[in-house]
Amino acid sequence: MLFIDLFSHRLLTTFAKDQTKTMSWKVVVFLILAALLVIFTVQNQILLNIKFFNWEIIDVPVSYVLLFGLIFGFLLAMMMQLPTILKLRRELRKVIREIESSEKIEPVKDEEGNSEDVSMGSDYKGGFFNE
């Protein structure tokens, strides 16, 4: 029992250390990307006129157009993956219900031998090569 407690403690502390390393790495990357976005926005103050069919938008900064394009592309990609995600969630729920409702397998007690002997059962006929 003590071994299991020590092992689980070591596993949890290792996991926690990995999470802090990962989180700090992600935070640094996020801050760098945010700084690059601010620099890009400040340097690209060019204004555009956008025409789409009968609509016309006048004097829109380039950074807004690119930001809108990125967000629209992200949302479009998420919408394309949504049916697959929902299907996998349904399958996961089904498997979890099957596992929870299945019978627990009880070990079969040996007919022969005592607690120190290892019994192969009454129907054992020999090893793999002995038929």
SS3 readout for 15-42: HHHHHHHHHHHHHHHHHHHHHHHHHHHH
For residue 97, what are its two tokens? 């219900």
Is the model's pTM score more than 0.75? no
pLDDT block averages, 10 residues each, the chain of length 131: 51 55 78 88 85 89 85 92 94 89 66 58 63 53
Domains of the chain, residue spans: 21-100
pLDDT at 40: 83
Per-residue pLDDT, 86: 94
Handedness of CA 62, 63, 66, 69 (dihedral sign): negative
Residue 23's pLDDT is 67
Sequence-distant (≥ 6) Cβ neighbours of residue 55 within 8 angstroms = none
From the list 101, 120, 99, 100, the residue with the least C-alpha distance to 110 is 120
- Per DSSP, 123 falls in state T
Q: What is the pLDDT of residue 1?
A: 46
